[in-house]
Amino acid sequence: MPAIKVERQMLPMFASPNQGARFYNPELPQTEPFVPGHRTCAGCGPSIQYRMTSKAAGDNTILVGPTGCMYVANSSYLCTPYNVPWAHTQIGSAGSFTAGVAAAYEAMIRKGKWKGPFPNIICEAGDGSASDIGLASISGALYRNHDCLIICYDNEQYANTGIQASSRTPYGGMTTFSPPGKMVPEAKSLYPKDLARMMAAGHPHCYVATASVGYPIDLMNKVRKGLNHKGAAYIMIYTPCQKGFVYETPRSIDLGRLVVECGLYPMWEWDPEKRKFDYSFRPQNMRPVSEYLKLQGRFGHLHAEHVATMQKFANMQWKMMGVELPDALVRAADVKNVRDMGAAQAAEAVALTV
Ligand SMILES: Cc1ncc(C[n+]2csc(CCOP(=O)(O)OP(=O)(O)O)c2C)c(N)n1
Ligand code: SF4
Ligand SMILES: [Mg+2]
């Protein structure tokens, strides 16, 4: 019997502008593969992201994910928010499990054992899994080009086990494993691993992108592009965690925008056909990092010199994206022009200069 051709769906892009996040969008699918009533904290960035991602994917979707808040906090025996087939995997095996699901559907369809269309196979791994413990298995799945989308929901820490530092925790980020003290007053002295660029550089045949919950339409379009791409795709998504970042719960989307507007989370896509980065995404505003830092308790210990160091880092990222720096951001990288975070109100004066 000749092998049956595997048919794949093409999901259309949303036409709404990238910046329009706060209004009702009639184009949004009504379907809710991630239902309300889940058990994560109020304002949980990873959950908000999960809802956007699964809405963009639709009902013909299989979700998998390695241990982390999205599976442990979110589900218990006979009770989960997932309205489509899903599986919880071991924290180190996100990539191998996902690869197995994709390969099995491919084989079952070719042999006529599965009559339906090829499903959207999405793995959602936390940064602890995607950037540290499960990095090898994810790289394997991307390298072998299984037809799946692997997402790193990046809350910049190991949240589920009580907020420990991961390789995605930013410079200056306080966690239980990186407390500020006399020896290391900035709490974390290392810069975050450049995970998404590492994935693009190492697996150039894959679609790779970064996204943020602050820009839902952009996020959902990138999810659809990743699913439409024949082969493996990878997206790293900024998802704030109110418990670890220590902020007011209604500010999750604000943080998702500020982190981009401050140059701390560059937004880009890697085009596997052209083998080029696309840095054309531009936020509406450019702001000093103090605007972002002052909203979060995890940065409350930073001194002016640390804030200036972070501004230098952000300025380098803007330059990497080909953006010309306004004078105010150059000035904000000079320690003389910044204040300690302890005086967050004072930092506002710097913010108002842009
Ligand atoms: C091999 C292994 N090591 C450690 C753990 C403990 N553990 C469970 S959840 C978790 C945190 C995972 O962090 P992340 O992937 O960032 O997801 P988040 O909790 O932030 O959603 C850890 C370390 C585990 N389950 N398995
Ligand atoms: S600890 Fe953070 S990631 Fe975990 S459920 Fe709460 S807000 Fe979400
Ligand atoms: Mg995490």
- Quick: pLDDT tens for 231-280: 999 999 999 999 999 999 999 999 999 999 999 999 999 999 999 999 99
Atom of ligand 1 minimally distant from the CA of 244: 20
d(CA 325, CA 315): 7
Q: Which of 159, 121, 156, 269 is nearest to 208 (CA)?
A: 269
d(CA 289, CA 107): 49
Model pLDDT, residue 202: 98
Mean pLDDT of 193-205: 98
Q: Kindly report, residue by residue over 114-151, the tens digit of the pLDDT.
A: 998 899 999 999 999 999 999 999 999 999 999 999 99
Q: Which of 179, 190, 185, 213 is nearest to 298 (CA)?
A: 179
The amino acid at 146: H
Asked if the model's pLDDT at residue 353 lies above 50, the reply is: no
Q: Which of 91, 135, 175, 239 to mutate to test the pocket of ligand 1 (most atoms within 8 A of CB)?
A: 91
Mean pLDDT of 9-25: 73
> What is the H or E stretch that residue 66 is in?
strand 61-66
Average pLDDT, the chain: 92
Model pLDDT, residue 24: 66
Q: Measure 104 CA to ligand 1 centroid, in angstroms.
A: 27
Query: Would you place residue 341 in the very low, low, confident or very high pLDDT band (cuts 50, 70, 90)?
Result: confident
The ligand that comes nearest to the alpha carbon of residue 245 is 2
Q: Measure 98 CA to ligand 2 centroid, in angstroms.
A: 23
Q: Which of 44, 152, 156 to mutate to test the pocket of ligand 2 (most atoms within 8 A of CB)?
A: 44
Q: Which domains does the chain have, with CATH numbers?
A: 45-285 (3.40.50.970), 286-354 (no CATH)
Q: Measure 129 CA to ligand 1 centroid, in angstroms.
A: 7
Tell me the angle at which helices 195-202 and 135-143 cross, rounded to the nearest 10 degrees. Answer: 30
Phi first, then psi, for residue 327 (nearest 5°) are -55, -40
* Per-residue DSSP letter, 60: S
Residue % of the chain over a pLDDT of 90: 83
> What is the H or E stretch that residue 350 is in?
helix 344-351
Q: Whose CA is nearest to atom 5 of ligand 2?
A: 40
Sign, Cα dihedral of 263, 258, 46, 52 = negative
Q: Measure 7 CA to ligand 2 centroid, in angstroms.
A: 37
* Per-residue DSSP letter, 184: -
Q: Kindly report, residue by residue over 268-320, the tens digit of the pLDDT.
A: 999 999 999 999 999 989 999 999 999 999 999 999 999 999 999 999 999 99
Q: Is the beta carbon of 126 within 6 A of some atom in ligand 1?
A: yes
Q: Could you report how far apart the first and last alpha carbons of the chain are, in Å?
A: 68
In contact, 264 and 314? CB cutoff 8 Å: yes
> What is the H or E stretch that residue 276 is in?
strand 276-278
